[in-house]
Structure 1
């Protein structure tokens, strides 16, 4: 059986097309569906929630806590995982057992989405489908650059992962949210922190962000919850109605929809910018920003 190592330096030595794939990572599942090869998926992790029908696949656990038995019971001939797939002891067990495997480390970021798509298409031996999907997201990349060339100001942005019982978890450097903020032309007000970190009410008051982004399922009540928190309700963001809730998989998943999500965030940051003449959002966006999107799509 062929073996794929972790990282970007593995080589496919098998001439047999894989037919049974176990997946740990929502972006990988989404890409396989977009390639039209979902019939080969025999199991997914709990982050694989898009498209909706992916939820009907057998579960192998959470991406960071997959189980050896759960994976092997599905008899996969290929296991694909994102960079944070774990725990390490399970990966090592699967390696020792000779499972055909590839973990995406180098491509698991915003800049690496095209490479991730290309690699998955290669592993599944559907390279033409992969190239078509790569080409499909290029208008999003160009639209982002078009917005950024018109930007005259970088807003101060706070990204909140959760805000429960007064405990706010914010995005620091090394997080996908920090990468998105910077790519969209903003300044992360908690960029001096590392990874996801809790911040106190006192710190939150001092940050006084101009824009607050929070993660919800396609625009849930998270934004309203944040607006009513004592340490944010007097912030510039709340006063100017610049608190937005976006679907986590759409924005941070680093899958085919993420480049459009970054365009949407850039439109929030730079509301006076215009989108390219023939560009339009193809996927469902957060329900928090319909007016902004409508205005930009019309070019008003």
Structure 2
């Protein structure tokens, strides 16, 4: 198998099927051993088609319509390709089950997915006991401002907060989540700002210095936090474990201080 994105790699390692993997995405960071030991044959919007063909994969797994051209080129070379297009928490859990079934490891994948769902349920139960729910602005990029995608907004809710741009979260493409007016964040007055700038470090001081943003409760109270992009911006296991865990910890601490 060749994995064009990180989430199938992380999933296959988690269920003990890592020996099937012969190539991975160059953006893969989880698990660390995959990055050290597996050939890197793709980015996100591009891939080394010749190198993939040399590996003679029986199956290639990718994600989203953005990889449609890569998939089409591989299919023209006779390679079997599966492109998933999930954008929700439920979709991530189902994706793990389907990937396991496709590689003949349905039992292990279902058990793993059940464990992830149990963990999410536990976080939601704990969040229900919090004295207050904060309003949360999740920023996926800063130039231009891009708000969080669906699974991120859902994880914020599971962790005890309310995403301030739920209507944007329903949009699958980043360009549809661009905030044309930065003052809209000011008007929606988030209590917490979470930054996860894909591929670069979140700079809370730059956020706080934006024109008019000093009026935002999160800026006033210094509630600007980074969530590492590797643990939240890919629709795979990391988001349902470390990602939501980091969000829940921030919200829990806020609730204790502001309850």
CA–CA separation in structure 2 for the residues paired with 1:256 and 1:89: 25
Query: Deviating runs (4+, > 6 A) in structure 1?
Result: none
CA–CA separation in structure 1 for the residues paired with 2:197 and 2:122: 25
TM-superposed CA distance for 1:25, in Å, is 1.5
Task: Give deviations 1:95-132, integer Å, cap 9, x for gaps.
Answer: 23331222222x45311233222222222222333233
Structure 1 counterpart of 2:220? 239
Structure 1 pair 224/270, CA: closer, same or farther in 2 (3 Å)?
same
**Greater displacement, 257-266 / 193-202:** 193-202
Say whether residues 1:269 and 2:251 are aligned partners. Answer: yes
Structure 2 counterpart of 1:149? 128
CA–CA separation in structure 2 for the residues paired with 1:145 and 1:47: 30
CA–CA separation in structure 2 for the residues paired with 1:153 and 1:82: 36
The 8 Å contact of residues 141 and 147 in structure 2, kept in 1 or not, is answered as no
Say whether residues 1:253 and 2:234 are aligned partners. Answer: yes
Structure 1 counterpart of 2:31? 51
Structure 1 counterpart of 2:146? 170
RMSD, aligned α-carbons: 3.1
Say whether residues 1:137 and 2:116 are aligned partners. Answer: yes
CA–CA separation in structure 1 for the residues paired with 2:121 and 2:200: 25
Task: Give deviations 1:64-111, integer Å, cap 9, x for gaps.
Answer: 33343342232211101122451x333223223331222222x45311
Structure 1 pair 125/189, CA: closer, same or farther in 2 (3 Å)?
same
Task: Give deviations 1:232-288, integer Å, cap 9, x for gaps.
Answer: 345211222311101112123232232233244234334487xxxxxxxxxxxxxxx
Instruction: Give the counterpart of 2:177 among 187, 190, 196.
Output: 196
Specify the SS of the correspondent of 1:47: coil
Task: Give deviations 1:36-65, integer Å, cap 9, x for gaps.
Answer: 222321211233211122223222222233
Q: How many residues align?
A: 249
The 8 Å contact of residues 211 and 243 in structure 1, kept in 2 or not, is answered as yes
Structure 1 pair 169/257, CA: closer, same or farther in 2 (3 Å)?
same
Say whether residues 1:32 and 2:15 are aligned partners. Answer: no
Structure 1 counterpart of 2:155? 180
The 8 Å contact of residues 65 and 85 in structure 1, kept in 2 or not, is answered as no
Instruction: Give the counterpart of 1:226 among 194, 200, 207.
Output: 207
Task: Give deviations 1:148-191, integer Å, cap 9, x for gaps.
Answer: 3224543221111223xxx342216x544333333434333334
Structure holding more helix per residue: 2
Higher radius of gyration, 1 or 2: 1
The 8 Å contact of residues 160 and 170 in structure 1, kept in 2 or not, is answered as yes
TM-superposed CA distance for 1:218, in Å, is 11
Structure 2 counterpart of 1:112? 91
CA–CA separation in structure 2 for the residues paired with 1:68 and 1:216: 29
Q: Give 5+ residue unaligned stretches, structure 2.
A: none
CA–CA separation in structure 2 for the residues paired with 1:232 and 1:108: 30
TM-score (norm 2): 0.79
TM-score (norm 1): 0.70
Say whether residues 1:122 and 2:101 are aligned partners. Answer: yes
The 8 Å contact of residues 120 and 158 in structure 2, kept in 1 or not, is answered as no
Specify the SS of the correspondent of 2:8: helix
Say whether residues 1:66 and 2:42 are aligned partners. Answer: no
